[in-house]
Structure 1
């Protein structure tokens, strides 16, 4: 049973009050009606058609015939990924009364100036070096204006949306409505269909806006709930059945054992620094955090650590529903605290449900949670252990929307750390139950691959140039807490779709391996191209990597039960966050997003890193291979936080 917590709006109440006179706009003729027959008055946003007709077969003569066939047979793809399909499913128009929670994303102003400012923040000698902005300063220089926001609000009201809320930085305008309002306000046609065992919806036409708003609106989120971000945790369950051809490598000179969260501070030399008691840390989550905080208190009591000062902040107006599985947030919080030794405050920025029917996490509510952490500007380091295929994020508009939020974070001196994913190079491929990394089936005689093993993808938002992307390793230690070596985390194949006891429910097989590779959509930041060569034109990831293997992972408290063994890049990112929080505390929270510095320093100065040179993150000889220096599997490798902190001076 879901536990539901109702939360008040976390958006700018002052601005909302200022918009009250706009209620009269509801009596106006909707702008969409005014321009319904004049397509030139409407322009595209970054939100494209998420539900698309499958490509025509060899004997299909025209695109119109393909569309007709697709409508009859349910042959569709989702999020521009041919591998994510809807086959033999009934696709029907979404009921016009279907409730929707949408978020209109507005563009930054003065983007060229903002790009220059962000570069100079990390350049010693620049007048802007480490001159972080306050939210009010960012808003004055780069955020959408009040007049731009008011025009968007007026458009929403005129098309029947209500409960309109504006974020404190003017970037997000959220509203409640239904499919009829979306059709009227954005010319968006929405469809209902069954996907992965549940009823979902998605737009099969792009979201359009009046031309008058073209320079203001970037994307419209919340028009689909079929493909949503997933957790990046690998939990060891008693009944889990691993298929053949495991790829994990053992270092015979040391042992590969599970660790207490406090062990990682010693392994990665964070314990040589004082605890991060001067630094506030955030975690992006979904749902009610009551059980997670209870488990955290049990963990700290068992570990002899001080009780953590925690708070839960809703990422928007809505409800926080408990899905009954706190494991992901337990992993994040306990490993951050264990590695950091304790923080000034730990804030759970919890995404609310996608609509009044508690449909769960959506792109709209997750982006709002990111933005809430940024507009609050309290947490210095923020963990994200969520991700989805980059093509889907680009298709629904959330990729660029999240980039815009992360840009403000960088300008304010906040650091987002994002796990790179657990599906190796096959983030795009999903099992019948939605597990990423699907490669085929196991009929009892071995793994039969059914996908193109040469097709690779990466996870969003790890692919953003404005975050630290953290990959995974398999860790070897001596005496549990002495670092001895690391290889690329790749546990090979396992059954993909499991019940609550870890038993397979079908014959689908996936890989468990660190995400990494080349973005299809994000331009490489200049510091990556300079460090890695002119051929690097797209963002590559990860930047660094830490322990993620289930065999060498963390023993945490879940639902009050200690000793639960977990891994995944959802472990790797919290290890970085905990270690980096100590570094920030040691330097009075004065350091900026460290990635540009990593790429300037680590190619020639390796004293602060453990280079990972063996293993790969694919299957059957595919994927990327580790090598000396930076690579697409573990980036520069793991960090020695004590030495890294010393390199920044005082």
Structure 2
């Protein structure tokens, strides 16, 4: 009897599957005559809104974003020859169960603890079914779209069309205008789908390029070709504000003996051609005596969008990301660039839209080889929500959490004014408010996603290469290089749309997602020295802060055998009780001061809207993060640094690379008159640290010798006590070699 019932049930299911396309075809058959179609809504709203006008001929438009900025150019129907590359985002199944799984997979004691899913397992449990996907594909085909492809996880359907096919498929009309010589286009009505698909389709991305995610970096002036740290203020004997080669961030944030990220694969979201980026990365590692980086470039096409021409404006961003991750991590197992296809204005091909960026996110997730993925991109959250892109991103990042991957996202570079691009006007040198309410704040997306780590910005001061202090990053209002004056400050604040994840609701009492979670250096004054086109530039922005975290977390993942999942819940649980892990940033602001009022958010003790919990001490964080893993010993951990024992009055020769310390010991058997350590000869620039009876480092020493630009250093200790003296030699921003080290006791 049971087998007969099973056969009957199977027959019914097969019949239903066969009938679904037939029913859908009947529902869609009158598509050529819109009047017979019943439409359902999607999460994609109009990008352009028609303003009040006396007639259609004189109609004006505003952008569907905060403040409703007016389109200054003439708006007309989008030409039918303009190719549109769209991505239709499908709704996940079993969403409540997925949220519960993502919580339990990172909860010790749960049956799901660290049982991360594979992409196939995620697809089977939570992705749209093949039948649902086919129903969308059929609709796209019948509407005239071409080059239709489906993502491996069934969540995105890519296709090529034009204004006419968009009208047929989504009951939306397309408009365009020219701004600064570039074609801008967008839908001036909400995207809709037939009722038969309304529960399947979530949103349609790629219908507009009016509001698109942009890099979050602040590239300064070209620096001198002379090796060093660039510009500096202050004095050598006290805290300074100075640009740093990426190899110095492990020293500044106290990596100590923390292993490099040699066993962890890291991803970066990019677009366009990466030839120059890879060449500059090789220059950076060569100059700093590092091993060449194992790189992989993964081109991510979007239907027929297959152009990967160079975007000179993006080179600086990808260079900042890759060089900072490499320098901070000390080297990774592999660096994977997920690069979206560019569009070429005027060629009949649309410019890059958020559809291409979402495709790159999704490829990093379906590949599931990068444990940590950097995203130095963002846009105003209101725009992202109205276009439906926020919902698209959230689904992708939720899958990453289920698989144990971590996306790190810059929190934004325009303070609390991300929606407007942070642009302000000036009049006779006096800063005036931008043409919107400066008391209304908007956070940056995708930093507001509850499924990413949002990284804010600080301005760090150093004592040599040791951390000396941090404040909230806010460079104020300055020329953006495009004729506009713009605020340069860390993004932060509450989300307008995302509910607070459980870990923030518990720790902060929050009802909405709040950003950032942590922060690192982002100031253009204290930022990174980056090679761009073979030349050195000072670069800041939260696009620097996020890669510093990525390099830091990649180190922790290697030490924990890549067993740590998405770390947000651990951070909010453990950080308040482990203050040694943090540099709490308690001063600064991410807004503007105008007419007697300070706008934006202020830093404060503990978590705040400008820098989250603050920055991390890498050594302390590594030890804490290890407890978030599965507890197994690191796999193939590199051996600890070799400690060389010095003999009285016998010189040894050493060499090293930036960020890697050479360590020595010298035993004094009985109290003496004097003890001297000297270094000389060879090439490069070194610093000498000494400590009695425990390892010396840039953050823990009894004596230091740090003369700039030389290998001639010395430390003399009067009346040395008996014991073991530890000597540590670190390089500057270049290789040092052939250095003679001598210990002498009297």
1:387 and 1:32, CA in 2 relative to 1: closer, same or farther beyond 3 A? Answer: farther
Alignment partner of 2:555 out of 578, 582, 600? 582
CA distance in 1, matches of 2:195, 2:181: 39
User: Is the deviation greater in 543-552 or in 345-354?
Assistant: 345-354
Cα distance per residue 1:398-454 (max 9 Å; x no partner):
10000000000000000000001110001112xxxxxx1112224235556544220
| SS, match of residue 538 in structure 2 | strand
In structure 1, how many angstroms separate the alpha carbons of the residues matched to 2:256 and 2:362?
32
State yes or no: 1:183 paired with 2:160.
Answer: no
User: 1:573 matched to which residue of 2?
Assistant: 546
Contact 1:69-1:75 at 8 Å conserved across structures:
no
Cα separation, partners in 2 of 1:107 and 1:235, compared to 1, 3 Å: same
Tell me the residue number matched to 2:407: 416
Bigger relative CO (Cα 8 Å, ≥ 6 apart): 1
Distance 2:487 2:615 in 1: 22
CA drift at 1:30: 5.8
1:644 corresponds to: 621
Q: Which has the larger radius of gyration?
A: 2
The residue that corresponds to 2:31 in the other structure is 33
C-alpha displacement at 1:269, in angstroms? 2.2
SS in structure 1 at match of 2:569: helix
Answer whether contact 2:84 2:350 (CA < 8 A) is retained. no
Q: Is the 8 A contact 2:418 2:443 kept in 1?
A: yes
Q: Which residue of 2 aligns with 1:635?
A: 612
Whole-Å Cα distance in 1 between the matches of residues 102 and 415 of structure 2? 31
Bigger drift between 316-325 and 112-121 goes to 316-325
Kept in 2, the 8 Å contact 1:291–1:559? The answer is yes
Pairwise CA distance, 1:372: 0.3
CA drift of 1:362 comes to 0.5
Q: SS in structure 2 opposite 1:407?
A: helix
Match of 1:224 among 180, 185, 208: 208
Is the contact made by 1:25 and 1:154 (CA closer than 8 Å) also made in structure 2? no
Q: Is 1:45 equivalent to 2:45 in the alignment? A: no
Given that 1:75 and 1:86 are in contact with CA atoms closer than 8 Å, whether structure 2 keeps it comes out as yes
Q: Which residue, out of 525, 549, 552, partners 2:501?
A: 525
Deviations 1:272-329 (A, max 9, x none): 2111111000000010111100110111111111101111101224121202241110
Which string of whole-angstrom CA distances, capped at 9 and with x for unpartnered residues, describes residues 362-413 of structure 1?
Answer: 0111000000000000100000011111111111111000000000000000
Contact 2:475 2:523 in 1 (8 A): yes
Counterpart residue number, 1:336: 325
Residues 585-624 of structure 1 show CA distances to partners (whole Å, capped at 9, x for unaligned) of 0001100111111111222331211100000000011100
Alignment deviations for residues 115-154 of structure 1 (CA, whole Å, 9 cap, x no partner): 1001111111111111100001000100111111111100
CA pair 445-138 structure 1, distance change in 2 beyond 3 A? closer
Is the 1:471–1:542 contact (alpha carbons within 8 Å) kept by the matching residues of 2? yes
Bigger mean CA deviation after superposition, 589-598 or 629-638: 589-598
**Counterpart position of 1:544:** 518
Matched residues in 1 for 2:177 and 2:245: separation? 44
* Off by >6 Å, runs of 4+ in structure 1: 22-29, 249-252
Q: Which moved more, 1:317-326 or 1:197-206?
A: 317-326
Residue 297 (str. 1) matches residue 294 (str. 2): no
Alpha-carbon distance in structure 1 between the residues aligned to 2:123 and 2:434: 51
Report the alpha carbon displacement of residue 28 of structure 1 after superposing the two structures with TM. 9.7
Which runs of structure 2 are paired with 1:422-441 in the superposition (5 Å)?
422-429=413-420, 436-441=421-426
TM-score, scaled relative to structure 2: 0.76
Q: CA deviation at 1:32?
A: 5.9
1: CA distance between counterparts of 2:326 and 2:29? 51
Taking the aligned partners of 1:178 and 1:32, their CA distance within structure 2 comes to: 20
Q: Which ranges of structure 2 fall in alignment gaps of 5 or more residues?
A: 1-19, 224-232, 632-746
Moved more, 575-584 or 221-230: 221-230
Task: State the 1:23 CA deviation.
Answer: 13
- Cα RMSD between the aligned structures? 2.4
Change in CA separation of 1:96 and 1:120 when aligned onto 2, cut-off 3 Å:
same
Q: Distance in 2 between matches of 1:315 and 1:518?
A: 32
